[in-house]
Chains A and B, each alone.
Chain A
Amino acid sequence: MFGFIAARLVTAVFILLGIVVLNFILIHAAPGDPAAVMAGEAGAADEKFLADLRTQFGLDQPFTVQLWNYVSGVIQLDLGFSYRQQMPVAQLIWDRLPATLLLTSTAFVISIVIGVIAGVLAAQMQGTWWDTVISTVALLFYATPLFWVALMASLVFSVFLGWLPGFGYETIGANYTGLARVLDIGTHLILPASTLGLFFTAIYMRMTRASMLEVSRLDFVKTARAKGLRSSVIQRRHILRNALLPVITLAGLQAGQIVGGAVLTETVFAWPGIGRLMFEAINQRDYNVILGVFFISAAMVLLFNLITDLLYGVVDPRIRLTS
């Protein structure tokens, strides 16, 4: 097991470096000149000023030198400097990361718990009216654009009903501490986390339903029935556990996507996470911030994949004991 984790971590480092280089090349191939954006905002766009800016931020150096500087910085965990925010990128991301992790992990748990429960119910009531209702509702959330659901949720629950705060991470100026602060953040979390979570629920619901139905046709389920087991025990002990294997694979892949979904949700709900940071950085051609956020989200995807593989070993003895 230790060897397995070590091997995966070594591979992950190389994959990350590859991603860093690729992102750097792609960003620099895209149109737009950060010096021009900065100069424009400073209100002085003459050639001399532009040239000075470029020299100041190393943008006048050959591409390969810029690449080398950046990559060797990243290896030392220096993600560069944000021209716009006048702060080191690592610091910027570090400040915003907890908010994003809180949002995405809550959404992740919501989507899996609701998705799996709905999938199990739909499978048990296969072909009935309930099956159709569950599938339709889940697909509705999946098919509707995330930003629209977010806007509507904010409009209904915050503006019209006034039940929940519609933006931000906590009440500004309230200066809560302790439990009061936790509750404050919690109420702010409900709307963005549910919106993001419900979007992904449909996938887990469909996968769980299909997987449950497939497993319920397998021979060992018949063996269990022939032993005289109650239907509820068969569902839980024999079918669900086996049916969750593909759901775990999917969850590992989805964990990366949910960070992508967070960009939209954080923007709509003014959630101060790295998603919103990236949205602002793209608007401002803040290359280093964009690259930094890419780097962190790639690292998170790799981490989630490793966790998935380990989890697979915990759930499935065939993987655990042959390794």
Chain B
Amino acid sequence: MSLLSFENLSIALPTGADRPLAVENVSFTLDAGEILCIVGESGSGKSMSANALMGLLPEGVTPASGRILFEDRNLLDLSEREMMSLRGREISMIFQEPLSALNPLMRIGDQIVEVFETHGRLTPPERRKRALELMHEVGLPDPDATIRAYPFQLSGGQRQRVVIAMALALEPKVLVADEPTTALDVTTQAQILALIDTLRRERGMAVLFITHDFSVVADIADRVIVMQSGEVVEAGTADKVLLDPTHAYTRALLDAIPRLSFHDSVPHDDEAAPILRVQDLSMTFRTRTSGIFAKPRVVKAVQNASFQLQKGETIGIVGESGSGKSTLGRCLVRLLTPQNGTVEIGGKDIAKINGDALHQHRRRIQMIFQDPYSSLNPRARIGTILTEGLIAYGSDKKAARTRAQELLTLVGLDPSAMTRFPHEFSGGQRQRVGIARALALDPEVIIADEAVSALDVSIQAQVLDLLAELKERLDLSMIFITHDLRVAAQVCDRIIVMQRGEMVEFGPCAQVLGDPQTAYTRSLLDAIPGKAHERALAAQREATP
């Protein structure tokens, strides 16, 4: 008898949703000490299944049929009170966003202690002691100080450790992890995955791990189920599903993962005049927190960055969050004014110019943003979004509209999209609109800031293909900012590695990623999940002629 089993579970969506059932006839089992991964893209029903297990389905969403058996009890039959005593004690959950998963106004220690208090365990001093032990166990630095800290004082990875500590407090039998590493840097992700793996081995805990990332699956899963549009399309052991998938959707998802393999970049003529020349660029943030005598906080976001971008070239900027890569990008498009250094585009330094002079040059360098949801004005039609820039630069309305329609065709959307609003499009389509907007002014340089990070892998692959195609067709020069080394390997000719505001490594893609010179770059490469799987895959390819 399995510890946990889903038997033909169906979950109904409220009327008016895009489909009647969020989850349809899902069955699987989970044993003690096992990690089962549920893989799927947005809307596949994987999170809904987890929420149903916790009894935390959103309002209006209800289980329609089937059973969830936990130690022979059907959880769907339990009252809210019974579920409450089960949550946190027998079944715990950790979430995707460590930044928002903790109450910002409560101390870390109090939030952990609350778990014991709620379930009436231990005396107050014992609770505190146990909280310290847990914090130590999940690898939080200096537990004695951290127990008094507030969430905002910790990094993303540390916060996720706190959430894990809370989830483990009462030694639950099942841990549900809903995309627990998606919002984290690769190095932090590797640490959290290792922690989850250690905990299940030491405690014999069963883990239901939900993710969209097959590389993560390859690293930790014992068994895998793949979900698409609410249904299980494939299930099996990790090796079987990853190396010998039977369903077309699984294959498509596996194929969409960018591989850490680099193309031989076209050698660029360094003698030719570069299209963008950045020299000694520095950006320091000083935040005056309060008081006239208080010392301002100084963050050196970018220090002495220098590089040249040749026409038709793509330079990748990689690094962890806080490494200064986005600040550098923002300085290049002059959303920020750098303190020092020059940004020459076509021989003209735009680092310090303002007003009209800046307006003249803005169109030469354009940006694609990370979040396709918040980077488009929700109250503006696509036509307005695309023509706004053109009209601001003196184009007449009719010509601007014609150009906007051409751009939509160019990025693979129907020109009829002009009259629609951003919310009518999917994430991938919105990012296409974002690309069309960046291209509208015929810029000489495009800055893509994590342009595919918020997208599902299959959509990500499509957008990357589009960018590659546009680059070829329009001879675009691009700065590609990303935290994902595999994506960088796929699209970049040269790569800049940034750490704490400094360029620690810069060179051709194959050299930086193939033969890294600094420990930092090596640590980034080591942290990439799914490398063992890639090797297995390569071996499999060699074996089959």
Interface residues in chain A, defined as those with a beta carbon under 8 Å from any beta carbon in chain B: 1-4, 6-7, 10, 218-220, 222-230, 233, 237-238, 241-242, 315-318, 321-323
Contact = CB atoms under 8 A, between A and B. Distances in A.
Contacts of B261: none
B101 A219 contact: yes
A4 B293 CA distance: 9
A220 B100 CA distance: 6
Interface string B105-135: 1100000001100110000000000000000
B104 A318 contact: yes
B29 interface: no
B252 to A, nearest CB: 31
A7 B289 CA distance: 12
A2 to B, nearest CB: 8
Contacts of B291: 1-4, 6-7, 323
Nearest to B80: A231
B442 to A, nearest CB: 42
Contacts of B540: none
Contact of B152 (A2, A6, A218, A318): A318
Nearest to A225: B56
B85 to A, nearest CB: 6
A317 B100 contact: no
Contacts of A229: 84, 88, 114, 118
B104 A242 contact: yes
B543 interface: no
B426 interface: no
Contacts of B290: 3-4, 7, 322-323
B4 to A, nearest CB: 16
Given A3-B290, A3-B293, A318 B84 contact: no
Contacts, number: 100
Contact of B105 (A6, A7, A233, A241): A241
B87 A226 contact: yes
Contacts of A2: 291
Contacts of B166: 223, 227
Nearest to B97: A219
Given A6-B292, A242-B105, A226 B92 contact: yes
Contacts of A227: 87-88, 92, 114-115, 118, 166
Contacts of B88: 226-229
Contacts of B237: none
B520 interface: no
A186 B115 CA distance: 46
Contacts of B92: 226-227
Interface residues of B, number: 35
A93 to B, nearest CB: 31
B56 A226 contact: yes
A223 B105 contact: no
A315 B86 CA distance: 32
Contacts of B115: 227-228
Interface of B: 54, 56, 84-89, 92-93, 95, 97, 100-106, 114-115, 118-119, 150, 152-153, 163, 166-167, 289-294
A316 B84 CA distance: 29
Nearest to A219: B100
B101 A321 contact: no
A7 B448 CA distance: 42
Given A223-B163, A228-B85, A230-B84, A218 B100 contact: yes
A315 B105 CA distance: 8
A225 B104 CA distance: 16
Nearest to A309: B290
A199 B115 CA distance: 42
Contacts of A233: 118
19 contacts: A3-B293, A225-B87, A226-B56, A226-B87, A226-B92, A227-B118, A227-B166, A228-B84, A228-B85, A228-B87, A228-B118, A228-B119, A229-B114, A229-B118, A238-B103, A238-B106, A241-B105, A317-B150, A317-B152
B54 A223 contact: no
Contacts of B114: 224, 227, 229, 237
A220 B103 contact: yes
A321 B153 contact: yes
Contacts of B93: 223, 226
Contacts of A224: 103, 114
B86 A228 contact: yes
Given A218-B100, A228-B119, A323-B290, 14 more contacts: A220-B102, A220-B104, A223-B102, A224-B114, A226-B88, A226-B167, A229-B114, A230-B84, A230-B118, A316-B104, A316-B105, A318-B152, A321-B153, A322-B290
Nearest to B81: A230
A99 B313 CA distance: 75
A263 B136 CA distance: 61
A239 to B, nearest CB: 9
Contacts of A3: 290-294
A226 B114 CA distance: 12
Nearest to A322: B289
Contacts of A10: 292
A219 B89 contact: no
Given A238-B103, A318-B104, A226 B54 contact: yes
A60 B518 CA distance: 82
Contacts of B89: 228
A242 B163 CA distance: 19
Contacts of B101: 219-220, 222-223
Nearest to B166: A227
Nearest to A3: B291
B79 to A, nearest CB: 13
A247 to B, nearest CB: 14
Nearest to B115: A227
- Residue of A3, A219, A220, A321 most packed against chain B (CB within 10 A): A220
B450 to A, nearest CB: 21
Given A219-B97, A222-B56, A228-B118, A317 B289 contact: no
